[in-house]
Chains A and B, each alone.
Chain A
Amino acid sequence: MTLRGSFAIWRRDMLVLRRSILSEMVAVVAYPLTIYLAFGIGMKGYIGLVDGVPYSLFIAPGLITMTAVNAAYNESVWSLWFHRRVQFTIESYRVTPISVSEIVIAKILSGFTHGLTKGLVVGLVLFTITPFRFPLEHLASYLVFLVPGSALFSCAGVICGTVMDKPETIGKVEAVFIMPLIFMSGLFFPLSSYPAAVIPWVRALPTTALFEGARQALVVGGIPYVFLLQVTVTALVVFASAVWIFRWKMSE
């Protein structure tokens, strides 16, 4: 299989992103920055150190990761739904000599690129205008988590955008599954806060591996390999599922 079609569609998606980059970034930065200011600055006097680091430093990596995975998920789910149900562009792609797999890979790549770009922009803004600092040499190991993490959520977005025909269902899935998964993964509090019986279950979540691993990579440095393996394997499984589900849906 060639990826000519994937590249052409990804290029189109990047052209659209480039055109709307300023308005996109304002919206993308506003939410995590507000949370950072409200919780990181506003609450730091009450919370003090968490896992040995100031609260604002504890939540910052999670906010960057959350921005990246949210952006990856949202781009994939809404783009696929819109192109499939509103614009019918998926249909126009399907009568050209590219495979269905190339279309789904393009959408996954686009979601992934959105996630990575927006996550890095939020990281840069937090780095520039808040006291949040991290050693720059930790950035590479952090990216090792952010890449499969964004890909994982992009694939999840592709699955939802493929199987859901109504936009309100997409909103409900985000409220019921995606946001709880992110918030339960130790974004705002350490996992040790959970009751002991719950901790193994929370640790089994790929989102926990992603948020915990990414935080450790950025704040402490090094790569927690078990977490990385967990995120990568999940991303691969969800990728294969996304391709299969999209192909199945298109053959209906």
Chain B
Amino acid sequence: MSPQNSSTAAIQVRSLTKRYGELIALNDFNLEVERGSIFGLLGPNGAGKTTLIRILTTLMRQSSGEVLIDGLDPQTHGREIRTLIGVVSQENSLDRYITARENLELHARLHGMESERYRRRIDELLELMGLAGRQHDMPDTYSGGMQRRLVVARALLHEPRVLFLDEPTTGLDPQSRRAVWEYVRSIAGSMTIFLTTHYLEEAEQLCDRIAIMDHGRLIALGSSQELKDKLTGGTVYQIDFGGQIEHYASLLRGMSCVKAVEVSEQSACVSLESWECLSEVVSALNGAPVRRIALKERTLEDVFMDLTGKGVRE
């Protein structure tokens, strides 16, 4: 199927709203995902990520607003869209009563693939995912990492143009997680990848652009570096003391150019209005038992916590 529009966007979301009775899961949400990019969607539990991905994958209808996947509207072209997309859902959703290979064969038949084509493609994918030797085993005899790789293979079987990965590495050990990352990187460019994750490192490692959403709204969008740059507006230093930390923390809190001071054991994280304030701080600490002063790099997690708050969500 040829692309349905000349736009460079694989996914376009305009003023998308989804209501469940009184609850607004998505509130006037807007987004564009460029073709061939890896796009990461972050948000705390209940932010609306799952609702958004369910609408994008045609599993749910929006209350209002417009969605286009490769130029096609899911409300009127659901079947066509499903031929274009691959979905790795949060749950493995593998059939434990048939073998790994049979799982892939069933999926290929549901996509209407010819047997000669799907047999060849299944061989390729099983080899690529390192599952060829266990292809005749039932998936519930697989480790978590192998099951996840099988689900990814299933989503790629029909060579989709847009791949949705909904928390693809949740519950995996670090080795398996890195194996999935490597594979995602290897296919980057050949298709658009839309990824949701709770692992900020994962988004940072894989994604060209990252969106952060909360309460059904998009609250930040950009590359990892752009998001970090947006956040700081000031500089954070870590100062290690040899003693009397509470005394010096209180002294720093009293300074006008110090935005915040967080104390942890013998260390203080000091947020300054700007880096020029550092000399003032150093002067104020003259004679203090300072062991080390280091610039603290902002992480994506800092950005995430700053935007979405530190409270635990239900």
Number of interface residues of A (CB under 8 A): 22
The residue in chain B whose Cβ has the minimal distance to the Cβ of A250 is: B59
For B82, what are the chain A residues with a Cβ–Cβ distance below 8 Å?
Answer: 95-97
B297: CB under 8 A from chain A?
no
Cβ contacts B80-105/A at 8 Å (1 or 0 each): 10110101010111111110001000
For B111, what are the chain A residues with a Cβ–Cβ distance below 8 Å?
Answer: 96-97
Task: Check A91/B61 contact, CB under 8 A, given A16-B98, A98-B110.
Answer: no
B169: CB under 8 A from chain A?
no
Q: What's the least CB distance linking A115 to chain B, in Å? A: 19
B121: CB under 8 A from chain A?
no
A4: CB under 8 A from chain B?
yes
A43: CB under 8 A from chain B?
no
Which residues 1-31 of A sit at the B interface, judged by CB distance below 8 A? 4-5, 8-9, 11-12, 15-16, 19
The residue in chain B whose Cβ has the minimal distance to the Cβ of A7 is: B109
Using C-beta atoms within 8 Å of the partner chain, give the interface range for chain B.
Answer: 20 to 34
For B12, what are the chain A residues with a Cβ–Cβ distance below 8 Å?
Answer: none
For A19, what are the chain B residues with a Cβ–Cβ distance below 8 Å?
Answer: 97
The answer to whether A92 and B112 have CB atoms under 8 Å apart is no
Task: Check A96/B110 contact, CB under 8 A, given A12-B102, A15-B102, A88-B89.
Answer: yes
Out of A5, A8, A87, A96, name the residue touching B95 (CB < 8 Å).
A87
For A89, what are the chain B residues with a Cβ–Cβ distance below 8 Å?
Answer: 93-95
A251: CB under 8 A from chain B?
yes
Interface of B is mostly: loop
The answer to whether B89 and A97 have CB atoms under 8 Å apart is no
Task: Check A88/B91 contact, CB under 8 A, given A8-B109, A97-B83, A98-B110.
Answer: yes
The answer to whether A95 and B98 have CB atoms under 8 Å apart is no
Per the bound structure, the CA–CA distance linking A203 and B58 in Å amounts to: 46
- Most chain B CB atoms below 10 A, which of A9, A11, A19, A92: A92
The answer to whether B109 and A87 have CB atoms under 8 Å apart is no
Cβ contacts B250-283/A at 8 Å (1 or 0 each): 0000000000000000000000000000000000
A133: CB under 8 A from chain B?
no
For B97, what are the chain A residues with a Cβ–Cβ distance below 8 Å?
Answer: 16, 19
For A98, what are the chain B residues with a Cβ–Cβ distance below 8 Å?
Answer: 79, 110
Per the bound structure, the CA–CA distance linking A19 and B60 in Å amounts to: 35
B106: CB under 8 A from chain A?
yes
For B92, what are the chain A residues with a Cβ–Cβ distance below 8 Å?
Answer: 88
Q: What's the least CB distance linking B168 to chain A, in Å? A: 15
Out of B58, B85, B110, name the residue touching A93 (CB < 8 Å).
B110
A234: CB under 8 A from chain B?
no
Provide 24 A-B residue pairs closer than 8 Å at the C-beta atoms, listed in order of the A residue.
A5-B110, A8-B106, A8-B110, A9-B106, A11-B109, A12-B95, A12-B106, A15-B98, A19-B97, A88-B91, A89-B94, A91-B59, A91-B93, A92-B87, A93-B110, A94-B58, A95-B59, A95-B87, A96-B107, A97-B111, A97-B112, A98-B79, A99-B79, A251-B60
> Which chain B residues have a beta carbon within 8 Å of chain A's beta carbons?
57-61, 79-80, 82-83, 85, 87, 89, 91-98, 102, 106-107, 109-112, 154
> Which chain A residues have a beta carbon within 8 Å of chain B's beta carbons?
4-5, 8-9, 11-12, 15-16, 19, 87-89, 91-99, 251
